[in-house]
Amino acid sequence: MPIFKHSKQDFRQSLALVIALIIGFSIFNTVYIQPLDQINSYAYTLANLFIIICASISFFRLTTAEDLPINYRQFLRKILPPLFVYECTSLFIFMFGVYLQVIDMENLSPIAEAIKYYKLNASGGYDEWSKVPRAPDYKMHVPSMDFDVTGHDEVREVIFGWLTDIGAQQELVNIVEFGASVTCYLHVTDKEGAVLDIVEVFQIDDQGRVNEIWAL
């Protein structure tokens, strides 16, 4: 096949050029399209395509070339099929992951929509949170801080007092609703610039109100 008739030097130069282009696109994508606080899905997709093509060429080389050492053939037979499956699966995830995330964040019940709205406007503090339907004696647990509070007043004084003290800024990464629970995935940045990955699980009662919250 013509693709295998090029010299090794030509092949290495072409390979180096493609890798350099992928790296260059990754940098451009990070600076101008998908910043560091987002999944670099476009660059991942391009890299996955490159690996799939290389794996396919290698597998074709394995099945057609008779001059390869038997140990090398055995190695390729073991490594190429799982690599190919993994990269194809990853390609699908990175190509459609953002779309699937948007679907998750759009098909929500009224209470989940209220929670999402609050998380997107969390800078408004307790005033924004008070717009979310809550049971009078709802509970909130923050195990990392040993917080176990009950009711509107305790949540306002303890939880939102703490958030104010640390200068917390919340970024909603994703929200998923399943049955009687709503789960929020958050990046929380404090006034020192430290970023925490937080998962908040909201338990919903029969009247569509928040009944219990776990911040993990």
Q: Residues 43-102: pLDDT tens digits?
A: 877 887 888 887 777 777 766 666 667 777 777 777 777 767 777 776 766 666 555 555
Distances in Å between the Cα of 20 and the Cα atoms of 6, 35, 58, 173 are 20, 20, 21, 31
Domain 110-215 coded CATH 3.50.50.60:
no
Residue 2's pLDDT band (cuts 50, 70, 90): very low
Largest CA distance in the chain: 78
**How confident is the model over 170-193, as a mean pLDDT?**
88
Please give the share of the chain, as a percent, with pLDDT higher than 70: 80
Q: In this predicted model, which residue has the larger pLDDT, 178 or 36?
A: 178
Phi-psi domain of 196 (left: phi exceeds 0; alpha: psi -120 through 50; beta: other): beta
Pairwise CA distance, residues 156 & 134, whole Å: 13
Pairwise CA distance, residues 170 & 197, whole Å: 10
Residue 208's pLDDT band (cuts 50, 70, 90): very high
In the chain, residues under CATH classification 3.10.450.50 are 110-215
Which residues are paired to 215 by β-bridges?
200
Please give the share of the chain, as a percent, with pLDDT higher than 90: 35
Pairwise CA distance, residues 65 & 154, whole Å: 73
200 three-class SS:
strand
Q: In this predicted model, which residue has the larger pLDDT, 98 or 162?
A: 162
